[in-house]
Amino acid sequence: MGMMLGVQKIIIDTDPGQDDAVAILLALASPDEIEVLGITAVAGNVPLYLTEKNARIVCELAGRPDIGIYAGCARPLKRKLITAEHVHGKTGLDGPELPEPKIKLKEKHGVDFIIDTLMQEPKNSVSLCPLGPLTNIATAMLKEPRITSRIKQIVLMGGAYFEVGNITPAAEFNIFVDPDAAKIVFASGIEIVVMPLDVTHKALVTTQRNEAFRQLKTPVGVAVAEMTDFFERFDKEKYGSAGAPLHDPCVTAYLIDPTIFSGRKINVEIETESELTLGMTVADWWRVTDREPNAFFVGDLDANKFFNLLTNRLGRLPLNSTS
């Protein structure tokens, strides 16, 4: 791969979601670059009781029953939960027929798992990878402020600038669901990498790319093809695009090979007051303010390189193919 970054320790915070599932699978398929310390579930695409279950289903599909899965917050910091069954189906993982998970949920609360892990691991050795609303991350920061100086970086999927909104005209879903949490995270001073709709809408699963997943002829390849088939139907109806955007795997791909992406270090503020633009990521792409840059805002990717990486890695699962 050229860039030897060593193995990066991460916690994946997620609300699966078909694209979340693909992001998790990509991480679990890449042990040379990524060590998943645990997965924390948050309410978002679907309610918490489904997101934690879906996280367990995905780890089972990957042949990784050893990964600890923790349930976090069931609702945003201050607001009523908004979900996205209209995109992901009523289970959140509609598409493939996957068995009930045998993996049990861990007892510890997801927020406490985040705090305890960051306090135990060496400073600046653990990155957080939130793929859903930022409720768990912000709650952890509020509960134990000392963690902010210990996080290596936060690589998240959320927000938009040129693409603007997907849940309202002005806002992207993950930020909109809990703008108060997003505001805390973006103001934390931690190094943040943002994968907004601007880049994820360039990571489109075309028919050929989906066929490549199916041609892996493995349970993972087929399940991923069926998942992307499912939410492609929604996206085609909505955007009439060449395929469904794979939002969340951009986060994992960035950790494996950042050269796939390009962006700018800019200031990003979160709107929490306005009724009209609630949850908007006000991204100073043109640097028209003198506000301090607080995020590396990704704007473009090499889509072919991204899908080659994804297909190649998914084809490795399960890693212990002896079973």
Residue 257 belongs to domain with CATH number? 3.90.245.10
| Residue 321 within a domain | no
Kindly tell me the burial class for residue 71, based on how many C-beta atoms sit within 10 Å of its own C-beta (0-12, 13-18, 19 or more). Answer: buried
Secondary structure class of 18 (helix, strand, coil) = helix
CA distance 113 to 144: 12
Q: Is 200 inside any structural domain?
A: yes
Element (DSSP H or E) covering residue 156 = strand 151-157
Q: What DSSP string describes 141-154?
A: HHH-GGGGGTEEEE
| Residue 322 confidence (pLDDT) | 44
User: Total structural domains in the chain?
Assistant: 1
Query: Residue 91 has what pLDDT?
Result: 93
pLDDT at site 2: 45
Residue 322 lies in a domain: no
In this structure, which amino acid lies at residue 2?
A: G
Residue 214 covered by a domain = yes
Query: What's the predicted TM-score (pTM) here?
Result: 0.95
Q: Is residue 323 part of a domain?
A: no
Looking at the domain assignment, is residue 228 inside a domain?
yes
**Active-site residue set:** 247
Tokens, residue 300:
């473009």
For position 321, what pLDDT does the model report? 53
User: What does the pLDDT read at residue 319?
Assistant: 86
pLDDT value at position 16? Answer: 96
pLDDT, residue 1, reads 44
Domain range for 158:
8-314
Per the document, the length of the chain is: 323
Question: Is the residue at 37 inside a domain?
Answer: yes
Mean pLDDT by runs of 10 across the 323 residues of the chain is: 73 96 97 97 96 97 97 98 89 93 97 98 98 98 98 97 87 96 98 96 90 96 93 66 86 98 97 94 96 97 97 93 46
Residue 25, in any domain of the structure: yes
